Amino acid sequence: MLLVSLPWGDCHAPVCCWSSAPGPALNNEAPTPSLDRCDDPGAATRTIAANGSFSFTDTTSAGGTVTYRAAYAGDDRHAAVTGTKAVAVSRTATTLSLTNNGRTYAYGKAVTFTARLGATYKNRTVEIWADPNGADQGKRLLKRAVVSKTGNVAASLRLTRDTRVSAVFTGDARTAPKTVTAIVGTKVKMSMKLSKYYKTGKIGSTTYRYYRVKTKAKFTVTTWTPYQYLSFTK
């Protein structure tokens, strides 16, 4: 009797194991193996060809990388051997969107980002990440949550610099992962004050300041943020 099998403890779904049924193995006579799936034992039988090969058709229950394993335990004339084959099984694509891409907001404004997830197999969780511009702040998770009945999940972020916001769906057994990104900008309040002019006047609707030839014009530029006040003069 030939035995072509893997111990059940070595099988990890989705993995198929093969074992041969009793039958002559010598004198070029082919045994009749049975194909046992870990999730469906005794699913099918196959006959080994004269060259020692056999084939089967399998419908996987999950996408991604599916590994098939076959093992021969050996006998008094043949050493044991094991073979594996990894097969990439495609998964269904879903849709994922994120609001506010390309928009600019005032410094310090709290902005809500909403992600919308399309149809999936089982996983309905979406993550929203923020990656502010600059090396001093790392990427951080804003929210990880199951989407609503309409497929939405939202997170709020107070903007203090240009930021890359990402919505991430990690995928499931039958749905491929997906990531989308929104890049938003921020701007600070700024003013400029002119001084040392001796009069003002208008040409049309535009106001002008007049300076004497020997007087150096003075310009004071000021910016405000919630955390600092900057002013410089030239």
Q: Is 39 domain-assigned?
A: yes
Cα atoms found within 13 Å of the Cα of residue 160, Cβ hemisphere only: 8
Regarding whether 199 and 171 lie in a shared domain, the answer is no
State pLDDT tens for residues 96-119: 999 999 999 998 899 999 999 999
pLDDT at 47: 59
Q: Is 2 domain-assigned?
A: no
Q: Is 1 domain-assigned?
A: no
Q: Is 143 domain-assigned?
A: yes
d(CA 111, CA 159): 7
Regarding whether 214 and 144 lie in a shared domain, the answer is no
**Final residue in a domain of this structure, among 89, 109, 130:** 89
Regarding whether 76 and 45 lie in a shared domain, the answer is yes
155-184 mean pLDDT: 96
Instruction: Count up the domains in the chain and report the number.
Output: 3
pLDDT at 23: 39
d(CA 231, CA 188): 13
Cα atoms found within 13 Å of the Cα of residue 193, Cβ hemisphere only: 8
**Final residue in a domain of this structure, among 51, 74, 89:** 89
Collapsing DSSP states into helix, strand and coil, what is residue 10?
helix
pTM greater than 0.85: no
State pLDDT tens for residues 4-57: 333 333 333 333 444 333 334 444 444 444 444 444 444 444 556 777 676 767
Q: Is 146 domain-assigned?
A: yes
Regarding whether 106 and 170 lie in a shared domain, the answer is yes
Q: Is 3 domain-assigned?
A: no
Regarding whether 207 and 176 lie in a shared domain, the answer is no
pLDDT at 216: 86
CATH number, domain of 183, equals 2.60.40.730
225 or 85: which leads in pLDDT: 85
What is the extent of the structural domain holding 51?
Answer: 8-89
Residues 75/25, Cβ–Cβ less than 8 Å: yes
Per the structure block, which two tokens stand in for 135?
């090396």
Q: Is 216 domain-assigned?
A: yes
When mean pLDDT is compared across 156-160, 173-177, 214-218, 225-229, the lowest value belongs to 225-229
Is the pLDDT confidence value at 227 over 80? no
E strand intervals along the chain: 16-20, 33-37, 40-45, 64-72, 81-89, 96-98, 104-106, 110-117, 125-132, 140-146, 152-158, 163-169, 178-187, 189-195, 199-203, 206-210, 218-224, 229-233
